[in-house]
Amino acid sequence: MSADTANIINIEFWQVVSFFLTFLGVCFGFGKILFAQFKTALDDRLALLEKMQAKLEMVEQSHNELLRQLPLDYMRREDHIRNESKLEAKIDAVYGIMSDIYKMESHKK
């Protein structure tokens, strides 16, 4: 074999065009498949976010209801201390009056 005739490949123009179009078709097909998978994943994420948003709204409503109900059911520590101080002052006043009455009665005898 001579060097001039070895390994010569003849490709016609229509074969190059068909290979190129086939390559573009395969790339387009893979791109379409990738886009469909991306869209599916994005839709799943969006559905999950919507579900989480609904749960968050439910928790916020529950929290707001609890905050609205707490003052009706429970007394704050400062309010309890203030009420106890008032009661103790009244009891001390009654005790003072009763001890004065007792002293007055004991002096009469």
36-93 per-position pLDDT tens digit: 999 999 999 999 999 999 999 999 999 999 999 887 778 888 888 999 999 999 999 9
Give the per-residue SS3 of the chain: CCCCCCCCCCCCHHHHHHHHHHHHHHHHHHHHHHHHHHHHHHHHHHHHHHHHHHHHHHHHHHHHHHHHHHHHHCCCHHHHHHHHHHHHHHHHHHHHHHHHHHHHHHHHC
Q: Where are the domains of the chain?
A: 12-74, 76-109
CA angle 96, 90, 94 (to 5 degrees): 30
Q: Does the predicted model carry a pTM greater than 0.75?
A: no
- Mean pLDDT for 21-30 is 97
